Amino acid sequence: MKKTKIILADDHPIVLMGVCELIERDERYEVVGQALTSSDLIEQVQRLKPDIIVTDYNMPGDETYGDGVKLIEYLIRNYPQVQILVLTMLTNNLILSRLYDLGVGGIILKSGDLNEILLALNALSSGAKWHNKAGQGSASVIERSDAVQTRIASLSVKEFEVLRHFASGMNVRDIAHLLNRSVKTVSSQKITAMRKLDVENDHALLTFCISMNLI
């Protein structure tokens, strides 16, 4: 029986080991590569030609491939024959919907039951999409008021990307360099996001992002 070839990507070795062990319980699948960075992932995809990529959404990126939406867009554009299953802690419906719009095969929330990975792989292997609660408007584990939900939903995908990198400790110039945008553009997107979220300074913005589990 020909096995489905899978490459895993996550910047946490323990997560990689756990997901690998889970997948290889099923004899239909073979994990042919494991990557800790975006560059490592792309190199392995080019060399090993997998059927499916199981990748974290947030990984240490680089100037060429980045992570998040930028990395997913690159993979789908350059390797359209490869199915992509995204692992993420994000529960922002805007980002999750955007990933499905880009063409990912499925999304698995790390905060949920990772055994869903095998169900998702079964769907992807048969040419179907995997839609669970992650793709159907799941709510954050932190309860949010309707007003706060409305503010978060008003963020654009690009504004959300800027906030995510800001909350990880990057400044505007570094974010601009990473996302290949001008400093002026990134600064404007950050200010617009702050206005939408009704926060007045960087400290308040960081506190909001962390408390609302946006990062």
Residue ranges of alpha helices (H) inside 67-201 are 68-78, 93-102, 116-125, 146-153, 157-167, 172-179, 183-197
- List, for residues 40-87, the tens digit of each pLDDT value: 999 999 999 999 999 998 887 677 788 888 899 999 999 999 999 999
Rounded to whole angstroms, the Cα distance separating 89 from 121 reads: 19
- Average confidence score pLDDT of the chain: 85
- Domain range annotation of the chain: 4-135, 146-211
Model pLDDT for residues 170-208, shown as the tens digit of each residue: 889 999 999 999 999 999 999 999 998 888 888 778 777
4-135: CATH number: 3.40.50.2300
**CATH code for the part of the protein at 146-211:** 1.10.10.10
- pLDDT for res 51: 96
